[in-house]
Amino acid sequence: MSVRVIDQAGIRQLVEKLQQEAKVVAPHRREGRDQWAFQEVTDPDLITLEYTTTTLPPKQFAWPPRETLIRARLGEGPVQAEPVVEVEPLVLFGVHPCDIYGLQSLDIAYCHEHVDPNYVARRQQMRIVGVDCVPDEWCFCASMGTASVDSGYDLFLTPLDGEYLVEVGTEAGEAMLEGITTREPTAAEIKEVKRRLAKKLDQDHKIHTDYHNLPLRFAGAANSPVWEKHAERCYSCGTCVLTCPLCMCFDVLDEIKLDLSETRRDRVWDGCMLEPFAEVASGENFREERFQRLRHRHFRKYAYLFTKFGRPYCCGCGRCVRQCLVHIDPVEIINDLLEEHEKGGVTHGA
């Protein structure tokens, strides 16, 4: 696939072209705040491509916080139930590498054994324009191998002194650039992109092992005191799971009209860090303590799903620690476990 250079006028031209074909969503700065959110583009000049990270990940457009799965009409005869799949063409514009990795990981999970038709329908109607970023003090994408991606996008932009290097990832991406003013990159610009990535990989906020070692390191850490140490500060608010690009727990709710004429079944986001999450009908809660929930979340990301799918279900975006009221940090937790392991203090358990 080709590599081009596009200037700011070309970016506007590209966005306006895409708006004629689909709904375009891109990061916007929240007024008066150092916060960004993915919003529908009404004015291309309001798009912010050089941003730290959005509060909520773009996952919300592939897997909404609440969606109706089934509608049914109730009556004297048989129940008439119909599946609901509501999709529209969508372009996610300005997605960071870590969030692209997150969407790829959700693709694997939702298309593994039991394909989720709603998720797949949305992803099939979605195109992605990625953009490179500069990590802040909470990012640890280099530790997770997600500081860059070589797939999962149609176009990928890298800032170049007021312009952008554009890498084309798909045939759809090639079509996006048709009619858009671009030019060939110089050798110096290609070199600058490589230098930028090398600098990005040099992060102070990092885990002290190769991420491929994490399932093995977690295998003996179930009874570690590290979990209680970090859980002491946890409010069980669930912010970490609700802002995570890779958390995918949900609940299913049935809403019935008072006259019993219709019902619908909705899927809503849920989170394993919330205290009621593991409650069962008898009132028992098999992860009642905060440390149990914290442990489960980290085992799921760095051991269970890693072992099942061959990749960590954490992209290192830092949203969990950045948004946490007390900044509970996966990097600190993992490094504490590694230090404990090196000292021979890990107690093996299930």
Model confidence at 73, pLDDT cuts 50, 70, 90, reads confident
For residue 82, is it within any domain? Answer: yes
Q: Are 272 and 285 in contact (CB under 8 A)?
A: no
Q: Are 331 and 338 in contact (CB under 8 A)?
A: no
Tell me, yes or no, whether 131 and 20 share the same domain.
yes
Asked if the model's pLDDT at residue 151 lies above 60, the reply is: yes
Tell me, yes or no, whether 10 and 153 share the same domain.
yes
For residue 116, is it within any domain? Answer: yes
Range of the domain at 274: 211-342
Asked if the model's pLDDT at residue 348 lies above 80, the reply is: no
Asked if the model's pLDDT at residue 173 lies above 60, the reply is: yes
Tell me, yes or no, whether 192 and 226 share the same domain.
no
Q: How much is the pLDDT for 349?
A: 41
Closest CA to 215 of 293, 311, 306, 332: 306
Asked if the model's pLDDT at residue 347 lies above 80, the reply is: no
Tell me, yes or no, whether 334 and 291 share the same domain.
yes
Residue 13 corresponds to which tokens in the numbers above? 């031209």
For residue 350, is it within any domain? Answer: no
- The vertex-323 CA angle with 317 and 326, nearest 5°, equals 120
Q: How much is the pLDDT for 274?
A: 96
**Distance in angstroms (rounded) separating the CA atoms of residues 109 and 124:** 15
Q: Are 36 and 222 in contact (CB under 8 A)?
A: no
For residue 206, is it within any domain? Answer: no
Tell me, yes or no, whether 194 and 224 share the same domain.
no
**Distance in angstroms (rounded) separating the CA atoms of residues 67 and 265:** 9
Tell me, yes or no, whether 217 and 189 share the same domain.
no
Q: Tell me the Cα Rg of the chain.
A: 22
Closest CA to 244 of 311, 322, 306: 322
> Residue 300 carries which side chain, given as an amino acid letter?
R
Tell me, yes or no, whether 20 and 152 share the same domain.
yes
SS3 259: coil
Q: Are 231 and 288 in contact (CB under 8 A)?
A: no
Asked if the model's pLDDT at residue 350 lies above 60, the reply is: no
Tell me, yes or no, whether 151 and 227 share the same domain.
no
For residue 250, is it within any domain? Answer: yes
For residue 63, is it within any domain? Answer: yes
Closest CA to 334 of 140, 109, 103: 140
The DSSP-derived string for 123-156 is HHTEEEEEE-----TT--HHHHT-S--SSS-SEE
Among 133, 168, 201, identify where a domain stops.
201
For residue 349, is it within any domain? Answer: no
Among 145, 169, 201, identify where a domain stops.
201
For residue 348, is it within any domain? Answer: no
pLDDT in tens, 235-270: 999 999 999 999 999 999 999 988 888 999 999 999
Residue 320 φ/ψ, nearest 5 degrees = -60, -50
The DSSP-derived string for 191-226 is HHHHHHHHHHH--SS--SS-GGGHHHHHTT-TT-TH
Tell me, yes or no, whether 217 and 94 share the same domain.
no
Tell me, yes or no, whether 70 and 182 share the same domain.
yes
Tell me, yes or no, whether 187 and 110 share the same domain.
yes
Tell me, yes or no, whether 295 and 157 share the same domain.
no
Among 176, 201, 226, identify where a domain stops.
201
| Over residues 74-84, mean pLDDT | 85
Mean confidence (pLDDT) of the chain: 94
- pTM confidence score: 0.94
Asked if the model's pLDDT at residue 74 lies above 90, the reply is: no
Overall number of domains in the chain: 2
| Over residues 95-121, mean pLDDT | 95
Residue 128 corresponds to which tokens in the numbers above? 């992605």
